[in-house]
C-alpha cells in the first residue's frame, strides 16, 4: 500500500484535513468547524477522532500511514511545546505528545504560517527555491521562512512574524499586537482598506473608490489597475511598506525568493512588481533582484505544509 | 599529537592567523600586512606561505592538522565561491579551491562578520546560545547570524548585512553602500561621531563634548556616562536606531541572544541597556526579553570563527 500522511491545519473557525501521498499529491481533503469548548482541548480530540474515522472509512493500513502533521495558529517550539494559543483558549502544553496519545500515530507540529511556507516551498509558488520567505496578506500579515528546505521556527517558535515588523514610526493607531506602525497595519486586507479610507478623507479629489458601496483590498487593486489615481496611491503606499519590510528580511537572511500569498495576493502582478521596486530601492546591490512569486496553493498551503512536516 | 587547525582572518590592512586545538584553545597567533598586489591574489599566496612556514617552524605533523579556516571581508557562498572582493581587488573565484591548492590542506571559507559571530558563539560572549546575532560596531556595522550552531550564509553569502538595514527614511546623506538611512550611518563609530557633530551644530547648549579636541564614539559614551545631556541624546539616538534594527531581526528570526562587539561595544552596559530598551519597545510580547551580551573576543573573534569553520 502506498505511504500516506495527514496534514491538519487548525484555524480559528475551521479545521482543515488533507490526505497526501509521500510525493505530495493531495488525495483527499475535508474540513469541519473548530469547537472551542473544553479549554480548546476538544479541537485536538475532534481532530484525532476525525482522522481515526477516515482511516477506518478509507481502509488505510496502519503501517502505510507515516503520521500526522499539524499546523496551529501560534508559536510552537521544535519539540512540540506550545506556550499559549490565546485564540483557541489553549494554555501551555505539548501538542505533539497529546496528539500522539490521541491518535497512536507519529505527530509533528508547527506554526500555521510556517507550515504554509513549507507547503508553498514543497508544492506551490516557491517550488525550486530552497531559501524563501512566504508573506501571507490576509486579514492580518503572516510570514514563514524556509532555509535550506526546512522551516525556521526560531528559539521560541516565533520566527517569521513579519506582520509586526515596525515600518512607520509616525503611526498613531495601535496594531492588534499592541505596538504602533506594524506592517500589518498597511499591507493586510484590513490595512489596505484603512489606507484607502484615510487617503479618501484627506482630499476631495475624484476617485472610482468613492462610488463603491464598500471598499475592499480587491476594489482598491481593481481601481488601481484601471488607472485610478488615488487607488494607485494606496497601492504604492501599501507596497512601499511591504517592500521595506522585505528589504529588512533580505538584508538579514538573503533568501532566493519571496512568495506572496493570502487573499490580497490575488491582485497579482501589480502587487509583486510594486513590492519588488521598493525592495530593490532598499537593499544593497548584492541583495537585489530576488524572485518575487505569487503563492499557488491558496487555503490549502497549510495542509500541504503540515503534511510535509511529518514527511520531512 | 593533538589535533590543531589554523584560523585566518583576512582584513583590508592585516591578515591575522591563529593556531587552535580542537577544544578552541588559541595556542598561538600572528599577523602580517595585507599585500594588495597581484590583483589581490598575493594575499592568498602570502597566507599559504605563512602557514607552511609555521607548520615547519612548529614541527606540526601533517595528519595532526585538521585544516584551515578563512574569513574574508565579503560574501562567500557555501561552496567557497566568492563573487567579488572589491576591497582587496579580487574578482570571481573559489577561495577554498585556491587555498587548498596552495596549502595542500582542507580549507573552509566564510564571510568575516559571519566568522566573527561563529567565534563569539563558540568561545566568546555568545557561548551557551545556539541561536544568536552578532552585531559589530566598528568603523562600519557588520553582523553575523548563528542558527542552531551554524552560520547563516544566505543564498548569495550576503546574510547578516545588518549595517545596511534601512532605519531612517528621512536621511539625506548617502551611506557607503549607495543607499540612504542605513543603520551604519548612526550606530558605527563614524556614525556616532556624525550624530554628535550634528547635534552640537544644531544648538548652542553647553556640553562637555565641545571641549574635546576630537570627538570619538568613546568620548561620546564617556560624556554620556558622566551625565552630559547632549552626549546622552547622541547615545539615545544611536541606540534607538540599533534597537529598531535588532527588533526587525527579532521579529524575523527569533534568536536567543544579541551579542554586541566592535570598538563601540567597549561602552558596555549603557550601550546594551539602551539598545535593549528600544528593542523591547518594537517587538511583539513573544519576542521581548532576549539576552543582550557584549562580545568578549575582541579582534580575535575572526580567527576563532575561522578555526571553528574548519572544525565544525
pLDDT digits (tens, 9 = 90+) for A217-259: 999 999 999 999 999 999 999 999 999 999 999 999 999 999 9
Asked which of A9-18, A174-183, B84-93, B218-227 is least confident by mean pLDDT, the reply is B84-93
CA A281 to chain B, closest CA, distance in angstroms equals 8
Instruction: Give B131-171 pLDDT, tens digit per residue.
Output: 999 999 999 999 999 999 999 999 988 999 999 999 999 99
Q: List, as ranges, residues 265-284 from B with C-beta within 8 Å of A.
A: 281-284
pLDDT of A103 reads 96
Cβ contact A284–B161 (<8 Å): yes
Q: List, as ranges, residues 183-222 from B with C-beta within 8 Å of A.
A: none
Cβ contact A157–B254 (<8 Å): yes
Residue that has been written with the C-alpha cell 540612504 in this structure: B180
Nearest-by-CA chain B residue for A168:
B169
pLDDT of B87 reads 66
Cβ contact A158–B252 (<8 Å): no
What pTM was estimated for this model as a whole?
0.93
Residue A124 burial (CB < 10 Å; 0-12/13-18/19+)? buried
Say if residues B134 and B122 touch (Cβ distance below 8 Å). Answer: no
Is the alpha carbon torsion for B124, B126, B129, B130 positive or negative? negative
Cβ contact B158–A287 (<8 Å): yes
Say if residues B84 and B90 touch (Cβ distance below 8 Å). Answer: yes
pLDDT of B78 reads 83
Instruction: Give A144-183 pLDDT, tens digit per residue.
Output: 999 999 999 999 889 999 999 999 999 999 999 999 999 9
Domains plus CATH for chain B? 4-120+300-311 (3.30.420.40), 127-296 (3.30.420.40)
Nearest-by-CA chain B residue for A244:
B166
Nearest-by-CA chain B residue for A241:
B169
- The two beta strands, B257-261 and B291-294, are parallel
Three cell numbers, residue B208: 562637555
Say if residues B50 and B42 touch (Cβ distance below 8 Å). Answer: no
Letter string b/e over residues A213-238, b meaning 16 or more CB atoms within 10 A of that residue's CB? eebbbebbbbbbeeebebbbbbbbbb
CA B145 to chain A, closest CA, distance in angstroms equals 8
Amino acid at each position: 500500500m502506498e505511504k500516506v500522511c495527514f496534514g491538519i491545519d487548525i484555524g480559528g473557525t475551521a479545521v482543515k484535513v488533507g490526505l497526501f501521498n509521500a510525493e505530495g499529491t493531495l488525495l483527499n481533503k475535508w474540513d469541519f468547524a473548530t469547537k472551542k469548548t473544553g479549554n480548546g482541548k476538544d479541537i485536538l480530540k475532534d481532530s484525532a477522532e476525525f482522522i481515526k474515522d477516515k482511516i477506518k472509512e478509507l481502509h488505510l493500513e496502519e503501517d502505510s500511514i507515516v503520521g500526522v502533521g499539524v499546523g496551529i495558529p501560534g508559536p510552537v517550539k521544535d519539540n512540540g511545546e506550545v506556550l499559549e494559543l490565546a485564540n483557541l483558549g489553549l494554555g501551555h502544553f505539548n501538542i505533539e505528545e497529546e496528539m500522539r496519545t490521541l491518535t497512536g500515530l507519529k505527530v509533528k507540529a508547527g506554526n500555521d504560517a510556517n507550515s504554509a511556507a513549507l507547503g508553498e516551498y514543497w508544492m506551490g509558488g516557491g517550488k525550486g527555491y530552497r531559501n524563501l520567505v512566504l508573506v501571507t496578506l490576509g486579514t492580518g500579515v503572516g510570514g514563514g521562512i524556509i532555509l535550506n528546505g526546512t522551516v525556521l521556527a526560531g528559539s521560541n517558535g516565533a520566527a517569521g512574524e513579519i506582520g509586526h515588523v515596525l515600518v512607520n514610526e509616525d503611526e498613531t493607531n495601535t496594531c492588534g499586537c499592541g505596538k504602533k506602525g506594524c506592517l500589518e497595519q498597511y499591507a493586510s486586507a484590513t490595512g489596505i482598506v484603512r489606507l484607502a479610507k484615510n487617503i479618501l478623507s484627506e482630499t476631495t479629489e475624484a476617485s472610482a473608490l468613492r462610488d463603491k458601496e464598500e471598499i475592499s483590498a480587491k476594489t482598491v487593486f481593481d481601481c488601481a489597475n484601471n488607472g485610478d489615481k488615488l487607488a494607485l496611491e494606496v497601492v504604492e503606499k501599501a507596497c512601499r511598506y511591504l517592500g521595506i519590510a522585505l528589504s529588512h528580511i533580505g538584508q538579514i537572511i538573503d533568501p532566493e525568493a519571496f512568495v506572496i500569498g493570502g487573499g490580497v495576493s490575488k491582485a497579482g502582478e501589480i502587487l509583486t512588481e510594486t513590492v519588488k521596486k521598493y525592495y530593490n530601492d532598499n537593499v544593497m546591490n548584492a541583495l537585489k533582484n530576488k524572485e518575487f512569486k505569487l503563492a499557488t496553493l491558496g487555503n490549502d498551503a497549510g495542509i500541504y505544509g503540515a503534511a510535509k512536516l511529518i514527511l520531512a
